[in-house]
Amino acid sequence: MDFGIAGRKAIVGGASAGLGKACAMSLAREGVDVTIVARTLANIETAAEEIRAATGANVTPVAVDINTDEGRAEVLRACPAPDIVVNNSGGPPSGNFRDWDRAAWIAALNGNMLGAIFMIKDTVDGMIARKFGRIVNITSSAVKAPISILGLSNGARSGLTGFVAGVAREVAKHNVTVNNLLPGDFDTERHKSNTQALAKVQNRSYEEMRAIRIGQVAAGRFGDPAELGQYCAYLCSVQASFITGQNLLIDGGKYPGTF
Ligand code: NAP
Q: Residue 145 CB: number of other CB atoms within 10 A?
A: 16
Distance of CA 121 from the midpoint of ligand 1 (Å):
22
> For ligand 1, what atom is nearest to the CA of residue 185?
40
Instruction: Write the pLDDT tens digit of every residue in 44-102.
Output: 999 999 999 999 999 999 999 999 999 999 999 999 999 999 999 999 998 999 999 99
For ligand 1, atom 7, the nearest C-alpha belongs to 14
Q: Is residue 187 within 6 Å of ligand 1 at its C-beta?
A: no
Distance of CA 89 from the midpoint of ligand 1 (Å):
4
pTM over 0.95: yes
Instruction: Write the pLDDT tens digit of every residue in 7-27.
Output: 999 999 999 999 999 999 999
Q: Is residue 156 within 6 Å of ligand 1 at its C-beta?
A: no
Nearest to 228 by CA among 53, 47, 21: 21
243 CB-near residues (< 8 Å, 6+ apart) = 177, 179, 235
Q: Is residue 138 within 6 Å of ligand 1 at its C-beta?
A: yes
Per the DSSP assignment, residues forming a β-bridge with 9 are 33
What is d(CA 6, CA 108) in angstroms, rounded to the nearest whole number? 35
Instruction: Give the ranges where 177-259 is alpha helix by DSSP (H).
Output: 189-201, 206-215, 225-235
Q: Is residue 148 within 6 Å of ligand 1 at its C-beta?
A: no
Q: 81 near 124, Cβ under 8 Å?
A: no
What is d(CA 258, CA 158) in angstroms, rounded to the nearest whole number? 20
